[in-house]
Structure 1
Amino acid sequence: MSSNSEIPIDFSNPAVRDYMSLVRLQVLTPLSLLINIATALVCSFVLHPSLGDVTRSHPASISPWAPAIAAYIFAVYLGQVGYCILLVFARKPETKSTIIKGVGLALVIANWVMAGWAIAWVFEAFLTSTVLLGILTLLLIYSNVVLIVYHVPTWHRPLDLAFIHAPVRLFLILPLSVLFPYSLFITLGHGWDPAHPDQSDRNQWEGFAYLLVINIFGVLIIALRQDWVWFLGATWVCVSIWLNGRDPMPIYIIAIIFTVLHPITLIVTIFAKHFASRRQEGRIRLLSDEESAHQGQTLGGHEVQGDWS
């Protein structure tokens, strides 16, 4: 027998394809995350101007406070580290299916795109930055829709919730809520000179409209799904906007309003769902008691008839 004989592998077998996909993700996902983190660190602490410097020197109607956004990105990185660990130690078939078919290569590509955006932002290539953020947003929208529709999050698999659904959703909220519109406004020339704060009210209503629409959308998601991840991410973004202190007054007010409205929506919908379920249980119990009483009366009637016959 030849020592160079090939091992037969049936790549048409779905199980084999899934295994190879998982192995590929186990290699590419940590690598892409490492490149994303390294690029962010270099662009923040080595290059000049840094990510924060460019943000501070180009205010617009929606301008986040750089330290708050940095903390948000750090939280996304932590979630992805947990995801990478889950990639290696996942044993449940449902978890593996969620990783392979729900997230897949979208997160890998998103990390690469995020790294490219950091470089474009530091070099003030705002058109490239906007295009990359648009691609990033579309990638993450696709991944989140697939996760929600085909891999429904459940508390029966808490690790899936914490390290698959939560990081991917948090990752989406950042460009969708603030980074993409901010970069777009700068690209369109709708920013203002930080040396002239009296110009801050220019083009303020487009920022107000975007912030209003995206946060109403967020409130609907929180209300319909009791989505604590969206509540956390959207509230964090709103806080980062009003902490900046340089945004126009309408932007400042709407950011504060939704900072309060997001948690209120979550709390109210959770209690409403709880009371609705309790009421439904009470109705079912009442109907069950009535049916039992009716059956008892019926049986009692038969027994009386039997005694008189």
Structure 2
Amino acid sequence: MFTICVNQQQITVTKKVQLVSGTVGGYVCQFSFSDDWDGLDKTVVFTNGEQTYASPLIEGDRCAIPWEVLEEPNLIVSVGVRGAKEGTVVRPTLWGELGPIQSGAIPGELSSPPTPHLYDQILAAAEQAQALAQQALQMAGNASGGAAHTWRTLLDLTVEDNSILFYNVDAQGCTEFLVTLSLADDPDITSAVNGAIAVNCGTTSAWGATHRVSDNISGIAYDANTPKGCMVVYHFALMDGQLILFSSRRSSNNHASADNLSSAGGAFVSWTKAHGTPPWYHKLDKIENVGIGSWTKFFGKGSRIQILGR
């Protein structure tokens, strides 16, 4: 395994292994990042000087070296990382050298399938998360045929009053949820939405709730001069007593667009607990309700809030 330290825009390979041509899936890179990379979507880029492939980081900040860059011996493999926010690259690193490729003893052409493009890898990860969610429902005893996997609308409303701070809905026995906030263009709103999504949060607030699904929903401000819409989507479930967030996505700040969603806040948003205490110290028997609130009270008239469950 390679270990790689990323500090600001410098990249240092602290542990190396010998690269051998023809190796498929045999090399894993473990990354660590300085604090200034928090909140950025990270994509790893590998090159041998002739071919370049991008790969997303998987759980634990790891990724495998694509076999295509190892196909030819006597080339030198290098690695870099790109940090993006709202779909725009804001921080590329310098290249770090992993080492030369030594000739392997595998004759003929490789028959392994090509490394999928980045978009295909993300789709595969989403499908895997969906399979885990369905398995969780079965483990929890909530699956009874196909009907158990049908999404139900728990809340679908259009904001009519900007003074309302908090919306809450009964979970109705569901263990998996999709929460969508689509902000409308409201010329009366000149301040940012700053709120949170939470479960088992009582009846008054999601902001200080014990179990928060989202980190602060911020950075989706209305512009004081030219207000613009935005969309955030959260997909989460209760698995074996643990709160699991599968994905948190948001559109650019240029009208909500279903085909232009990136990681919320520029990074995969983890489960949080009020005041920063990790939630995994507290197991949940069930999800009683789901709430979404903005302590600034600025959702905007015409904004749409949807909560689906199953």
Same fold (TM over 0.5): no
TM-score range, shorter chain: under 0.3
Q: Name whichever structure is richer in helix by fraction.
A: 1
Bigger Rg, which one: 1
TM-score (norm 1): 0.22
